[in-house]
Structure 1
Amino acid sequence: MIALIAGCGNPGPAGPSAEKSLILATTTSTQDSGLLDELLPAFTRDSGWQVKTLAVGSGQALELGRRGEADVLLVHSPAAEEAFMAEGVAGRRLLVMHNDFVLVGPAADPAGIRGTPSVEAMGKIAAAQAVFVSRGDDSGTNAKEKDLWAKAGVTPEGSWYQSTGQGMGETLRVASEKGGYTLSDRATYLAQRDTLSLDILSEGDPGLLNVYHVIEMTSKAGDRVQPEAATAFADWIVSPPAQQMIGQFGVAKFGQPLFTPDAGKDEAALGR
């Protein structure tokens, strides 16, 4: 399901300025965590560009870019992104920020994963055939989940393994209702924690790093792409003011930032 979020700010009077609008395809975590509600009004104010957001899984966001149906992408599925960049239809791919993934589940923890490393935890969930709720939507989170299952030597199947085909917020809700486990980005979990009966049970592995990039689309992807819009957004989100906003997001409400700004950093050193 694609969630279309209308542009932020007032559209202003009719005329050329009202038509200055770009399409951002991004992972649902940036929407469900509330980050875009902070960033996009500031971007519009600073640049004059209105933003129409397509909140989907990273795989779907890349596909929208491939079809020329988005001007710029904000995604978190590095392996898929690298393959996408090799196709030659995109411009720059810039490091923006990171947070991490966490394994969450009911406080009773029927599979006994509390405090165990993520790969071991996945093996325990499968062995116990405890309910696991997957996004199943080709998102960056879904890609990370598949990677963890593979490292655990597990092919998840059976009635205990359930898929929503939905975004992170909805998947967390289903896992909470079913008393199941799921993999979530930390930001979306913290943003919705008060509505969930789920605890963080496994966290902190270097392998749970969750890295976000902005990708500019070019006219090679299609005539509808606005390269100048892509450049405007990419330049802005890695700028010091935007990076400062990212670093402060969540501190007032949760006592910790939900994302760590990374523009200009050595990506290979992240999470060390």
Structure 2
Amino acid sequence: MTIQRREFLSVLGGGVAVGLAGCTGADDSDGPEISGETLTLTTTTSTYDTGLLDELNAPFEDRYGVTVDAVAQGTGAALRTARDGDSDVVMVHARSLEDEFMEEGYGVNRRDLMFNDFVIVGESDDPADVEGEDDAAAAFEAIAEAEATFVSRGDESGTHTKELEIWDETGLTVEEFGEWYLDGGGGMGETLNTANLDGGYTLVDRGTFLDMRDEIDLELLVEGPVEGGSEMLMNPYGIVAVNPAVHDNVNYDLAMAYIGYITSLEGQEIIEEYRSNDEQLFFAEALSEDPNFRQYLPEGWERSSDD
């Protein structure tokens, strides 16, 4: 079933406020002053390369008189940077890796943020005949059987993590693949360009593909759930503050102000309305009439009987 746009609550009076007591900058004498400070955000390349972060961060910087230093990395690298205490907040898209980060105590106050989906793209001649396939694993099996060129991110990013999950579903072993399987080892844009030059397939988040579609000669062959395709290709994004109890150097107050802003009505509206080439790239998910309170916790995480 095609995913529909989320319905937002009405904003009374036409104004939106960030609901964070004590984080209003230099004018709030009772709370921490954050004006003039810098927030280090490590984030997936898809949010950076599509231009979404520029749209999101400018209002936040203007309101609080701060700077957001956005460092674009794959999800795995972004979380490693945060583990080292070199990031204040992370915005990524691999829930299994986010859950590990939380379970190890490095992250706190996780929120669902937005979603789009992954799609499989390739040359129009489609040598593995996967166009229109509604099962991502079946499409991957066909590519492997045809030994058609496939370009992997190979960088522990959220996209690479999803790719490996799909290969695992097929029962095939990546380490045993032949020369047809290429390790791109770069960002999503670089991987798309490699697939374009080498005439190969690749897995890509819908937002980056739509943003780059006019620059490459690749076709969208297998849809994700946004357009009624394989549910396995869902691509949720989360945002997590780095735990100040582990790294006391992190700017926790500013991180929480940012999380409050980006999950507020204003932040979610910016995400929902952002377009590239007249296409919606991301779908806001932090606000819902039927909230999923498990969004804060790793899968299967339960309170101890001693609590």
TM-score (norm 2): 0.79
Compared CA separation, residues 153 and 268, structure 1 to 2 (3 A): farther
Partner of 1:179: 199
Distance 1:153 1:268 in 2: 33
Asked if 1:153 is matched to 2:175, the reply is no
Could you tell me which residue of structure 1 aligns to residue 98 of structure 2? 81
- The answer for the alignment partner of 1:231 in structure 2 is 256
Question: Compared with structure 1, are the counterparts of its residues 231 and 185 closer, same or farther at alpha carbon in structure 2 (3 Å cutoff)?
Answer: same
Post-superposition offset of 1:224: 2.1
Tell me, in whole angstroms, the C-alpha distance in 2 between the residues paired with 1:255 and 1:268. 33
Q: Deviations over 1:201-242 (max 9, x none)?
A: 001211111000110112233232110111011111001011
SS of alignment partner, residue 102 of structure 1: strand
Structure-2 separation of matches of 1:126 and 1:17: 52
SS in 1 for 2:280: coil
Maintained 8 Å contact 1:219/1:225: yes
| Alpha-carbon shift at residue 264 of structure 1 (Å) | 3.0
Q: Could you tell me how far apart the structure 1 residues matched to 2:246 and 2:72 are?
A: 20
Q: Whose Rg is larger?
A: 2
Per the alignment, in what secondary structure is the counterpart of residue 52 of structure 1?
strand
Distance 2:219 2:240 in 1: 33
Give the Cα separation in 2 of the matches to 1:229 and 1:158: 48
Q: 1:58·1:77 contact (CA, 8 Å) conserved in 2? A: yes
CA distance in 1, matches of 2:69, 2:259: 15
Q: Secondary structure, in 3 states, of the residue corresponding to 2:109?
A: strand
Contact 2:113/2:284, CA 8 A, preserved across alignment: yes
2:151 to 126, 130, 133: 133
* Equivalent residue runs for 1:1-272 within 5 Å: 19-116=36-133, 117-156=135-174, 157-203=177-223, 204-250=229-275, 253-265=276-288, 266-267=291-292
Q: Could you list the per-position Cα deviations for residues 153-177 of structure 1 after superposition, in whole angstroms to 9, with x for gaps in the alignment?
A: 2123210001111111111111111
Against the structure 1 CA distance between its residues 18 and 268, is the aligned structure 2 distance closer, same or farther, given a 3 Å change threshold?
Answer: closer
State, as a whole percentage, how many aligned pairs show the same letter: 41
- Judging changes above 3 Å, is the alpha-carbon distance between structure 1 residues 216 and 36 closer, same or farther for their aligned structure 2 residues? same
Gap runs ≥5 in structure 1: 1-15
Instruction: Name the CA distance, whole Å, in 1 between partners of 2:261 and 2:215.
Output: 33
Where does residue 10 of structure 1 map in the other structure? none
In structure 2, C-alpha distance between the alignment counterparts of 1:149 and 1:192, rounded to whole Å: 25
How far apart in 2 are the matches of 1:174 and 1:151?
A: 25
Work out whether residues 58 and 139 of structure 1, in 8 Å CA contact, stay in contact via their aligned partners in 2.
yes
Contact 1:90 1:221 in 2 (8 A): no
**In 1, Cα distance between the equivalents of 2:218 and 2:171?**
26
Using the alignment, how far apart are the partners of 1:174 and 1:268 within structure 2? 40
Equivalent AA in structure 1 for residue 172 of structure 2: V
Q: What amino acid is the match of 2:208?
A: T
Aligned to 2:245, what secondary structure does the other structure show? helix
The total of aligned residue pairs comes to 253
Measured in 2, the distance between the counterparts of 1:168 and 1:267 equals 30
Give TM-score, length-normalised by structure 1.
0.89
User: 1:257: how far off?
Assistant: 1.4
Q: Give 1:17 deviation, angstroms.
A: 7.9
CA distance in 2, matches of 1:169, 1:109: 21
